[in-house]
Structure 1
């Protein structure tokens, strides 16, 4: 299968490296990361190790079977414009953070996905696979189709264990809620995920999680968000959340797509405002 990873930062690069074991992979990225991959290959450290010599471009050239979107949520519109130039009906899979992304891709053939693998950009051309997570894909309408089964088998054979589910849209909401528990705290405190297991920080995370569970309940989704967040933290102790990485690099975060949907809760509102302050200062 020919697979294009659009937005090959930390997570996209790790996914691309894994999938290259059985597929022809193109990494679409930019800047020094693109330059380094072209010159030296992609170096992956951590629980996956190796140098992967993959094709790399700054744009989508067309002609692929599957496009995996891992760009920042706020870069989705720009990615859509880039893809549209050569789009011929290819399947687009999104592993992006936040809610509302699938709606933005309504004019494309989309398979939503969720993954909790931990990945950190160490330097241009170098990423760390910091923790195994769970990966789910499924059709928007809940159908267990042959194509998602085929893709899941392919991913799993590459070392990216993937499960097909009939409730992927609910799982995307749950993933956003889990991120709301973890990412803002790590970004504000400047710590890796594992530090959130501290008793004092767990209390804050519990407050955030309970608010998220209430918000999900209003959407007909039952989930113990705090318990699920603790599971993710345990699996990704050494990971720097994407929001922390953004703050450290002076970039805009995805807080509007991750925390804002839960902003009616006081703890979530506090975390939202703290991250916004860091973005602006």
Structure 2
């Protein structure tokens, strides 16, 4: 175990805790280091008994061995980094550890929304020769916090993981560790398919999360109202058009016809309504952030649709307005 590559985890919210705990509880766990980015986390770590606790079906498991560091530590090169911060904090978090990352490193992005890998390349790793390899994970599990380093695993689902583009042998160790961690229930996908899975989740989030903020309700209450369903369909029409024309999804074989079919308005609406029904009693993460006075991730969800739409010359006015409403806290008041 002492000679195995180390995995660092930056971001110890629900998602970071889940990945850390799942990796720490494999038959041959890798060496794990939690990067505690706020000084207050050190005292919270001590109060939590220097461990991560995950509760599943009323049973709490606190097993696992972790080292801790502060990101600014002038330590050795980070070979494998799982970044589980909120999307809007990703660039700042990576900047804190940039001096420990290089071409031999692999970064796994686990966040909701899209655009963080492009942002990391533009702001943190513009030089291709020294840029780490990128992996991305889409997580469908449901978790909520019970305090620092304690989470409840409320809805067990799955993780989709793979390379952001192409493939890299140096990333295989981290990929294998994720896939072999049974608690994560992870499956590896090639980069184009992973991209389409990301976009499907993005659309679902873009239709449900901001509307729960604007109409101040749980997921299941949204589409019982015809006026809300009409708004969703306007947003969906724009998202469908944008994704169907994304150049990176086109292939020589069919020119991207599979994308147009997969991301048709009808198929997307069916997926959105299905998820809203299955998560009917849930309060979306965006509504939780909004109620707590935290900045939301709408800029990386609907905002991503707006950005790509404008690049393609597509009218994305409805999504643009939704972003503005959430960011400026313009919610619909109950009569």
* TM-score of the two chains, using structure 1 as the length reference: 0.81
The answer to whether the 8 Å contact 2:12/2:84 transfers is yes
Distance 2:56 2:281 in 1: 10
Structure 2 residue 44 is the aligned partner of structure 1 residue 17: no
Distance across 1 between alignment mates of 2:275 and 2:176 = 21
List gaps (5 residues or longer) in structure 1.
none
Q: Which secondary structure state, in structure 2, belongs to the residue aligned with residue 110 of structure 1?
A: strand
Q: Secondary structure at the match of 2:187?
A: strand
**Which of residues 186, 195, 198 is equivalent to 1:169?**
195
Distance 1:230 1:21, change over 3 A: farther
Structure 2 residue runs without a partner (length 5+): 122-130, 247-255, 307-314
Q: Structure 1 residues 192 and 148 mapped into 2: Cα distance closer, same or farther (>3 Å)?
A: farther
The answer to whether 1:276 aligns with 2:320 is no
Kindly indicate whether residue 289 of structure 2 is the aligned counterpart of residue 228 of structure 1: no
Tell me the distance in 2 between the aligned counterparts of 1:70 and 1:108.
Answer: 17
Encode CA deviations 1:47-75: one digit per residue, 9 max, x unaligned: 58524354444426545542111212221
Distance (whole Å) between structure 2 residues aligned to residue 57 and residue 237 of structure 1: 39
Q: Is the 8 A contact 1:44 1:126 kept in 2?
A: yes
CA contact (8 A) 2:107 2:135 kept: yes
2:159 aligned residue: 135
Q: In the comparison of the two structures, how many residue pairs are matched?
A: 280
Name the structure 2 match of 1:243.
286
> 2: CA distance between counterparts of 1:69 and 1:177?
22
User: Where has structure 1 moved over 6 Å in runs of 4 or more?
Assistant: none
Q: TM-score, normalised by structure 2?
A: 0.70
Larger radius of gyration: 2
Residue 8 of structure 1: aligned partner: 12
What's 1:99 paired with?
Answer: 114
2:95 matches 1:81: yes
Would you say the 8 A contact 1:194–1:238 is kept in 2? yes
> Equivalent residues in 2 for 1:254-273 (5 A)?
254-263=297-306, 264-265=315-316, 267-273=318-324
Question: Which position in structure 1 is the counterpart of 2:135?
Answer: 111
Change beyond 3 A, Cα 1:10–1:157: closer
> How far apart, in 2, do the equivalents of 1:31 and 1:206 lie?
45
Q: Secondary structure at the match of 2:184?
A: coil
Structural mapping, 1:212-223, within 5 Å: 212-219=239-246, 220=256, 221-222=259-260, 223=263
